[in-house]
Amino acid sequence: MELVPEKITVYAEKHSDDEPKILQELRRETWQKVILPRMLSGHLQGRLLAMISKLIKPKKILEIGTYTGYATICLAEGLAKNGIIHTIDYNEELVDFQKKYFTKAQLENKIQQHTGTALSIIPTLKDTFDLVFIDADKINYSRYFDLIINKVSKGGIILSDNVLWNGKVIEEVKKNDVDTKAIIHYNLKLKNDKRIESILLPVRDGIHIARKL
Ligand SMILES: C[S@@+](CC[C@H](N)C(=O)[O-])C[C@H]1O[C@@H](n2cnc3c(N)ncnc32)[C@H](O)[C@@H]1O
């Protein structure tokens, strides 16, 4: 299901800040060399993430699901002085690619890469986060939320990507479609959680913004 018409996305991109050169390069190389390039946040969502981060000026950010580092660099744009972003991905093959672009962006001292499953790494992180971006395996979104909620500062923001899951959340769910079931469960969980206030934005594949009370 096309959630936002392509022409509207193009118009919105044209009337937003340009995609920074380094991110254009990263995006192109991802499409040339890495499987599933559609997973990358891209121009419009990237500018949204950068804008949110700049509004918050977080000292500590956590990203769950680095992929090739596109969103990591966008989120890092808003980091406070001496701020740090932790980013987790279990795909070892992406580490060098990520490192190359983090270095090019002169962010190597601000980005802490973690390689391993998010479920095993999150409990080892001792920081309190002002901004969290959940963008890994959909089946574990609920578990990630449960693991991070007490590590988020008061007023901190939790962003969750792909919460419309290509529109499947409003269609009849196939019996074995565990991802769609997980996202539907997650959206309901967020709606009912009294520790946050929240809004689901129909941007790209759906971004949920939760603010910890
Ligand atoms: C949608 S991509 C992330 C895209 C990236 N945040 C961006 O916007 O450019 C999801 C990433 O999550 C990683 N991933 C999936 N399941 C994971 C898990 N259980 N633990 C850690 N990383 C995982 C995948 O390897 C993949 O690189």
Domain CATH number, residue 58: 3.40.50.150
The residue contributing the CA closest to ligand 1 atom 18 is: 117
Residue 2: what pLDDT? 80
List residues near ligand 1 (CB under 6 A). 39-41, 65, 67, 70-71, 88-91, 117-118, 135-137, 140
Angle at 148 between CA 74 and CA 113, to 5 degrees: 45
Residue 59: what pLDDT? 98
**pLDDT tens digit string along 35-86?**
999 999 999 999 999 999 999 999 999 999 999 999 999 999 999 999 999 9
Tokens of 134: 């959940």
Please name the amino acid found at residue 124.
T
Angle at 169 between CA 204 and CA 119, to 5 degrees: 80
Number of domains in the chain: 1
The residue contributing the CA closest to ligand 1 atom 16 is: 137
The residue contributing the CA closest to ligand 1 atom 20 is: 117
- Report if residue 92 sits inside a domain: yes
* Residue length of the chain: 213
The rounded Å distance from CA 137 to ligand 1 centre is: 6
State which residues of the chain have pLDDT below 50. none
Name the phi and psi angles at 53, rounded to 5: -65, -40
Residue 54: what pLDDT? 98
Please name the amino acid found at residue 171.
E
- Report if residue 1 sits inside a domain: no
CA distances in angstroms from 130 to 71, 79, 187, listed in the order given: 16, 10, 21
The residue contributing the CA closest to ligand 1 atom 8 is: 41
- Report if residue 133 sits inside a domain: yes
Tokens of 181: 């079931």
The rounded Å distance from CA 10 to ligand 1 centre is: 25
- Report if residue 197 sits inside a domain: yes
Residue 87: what pLDDT? 98
- Report if residue 169 sits inside a domain: yes
Domain of residue 34 covers: 6-212
The residue contributing the CA closest to ligand 1 atom 26 is: 67
Quick check: 114 and 91 in contact, CB under 8 A? no
**Closest approach atom of ligand 1 to CA 63:** 6
- Report if residue 91 sits inside a domain: yes
The rounded Å distance from CA 161 to ligand 1 centre is: 11
Question: Exposed, middle or buried, 166 (CB in 10 Å: 0-12/13-18/19+)?
Answer: middle
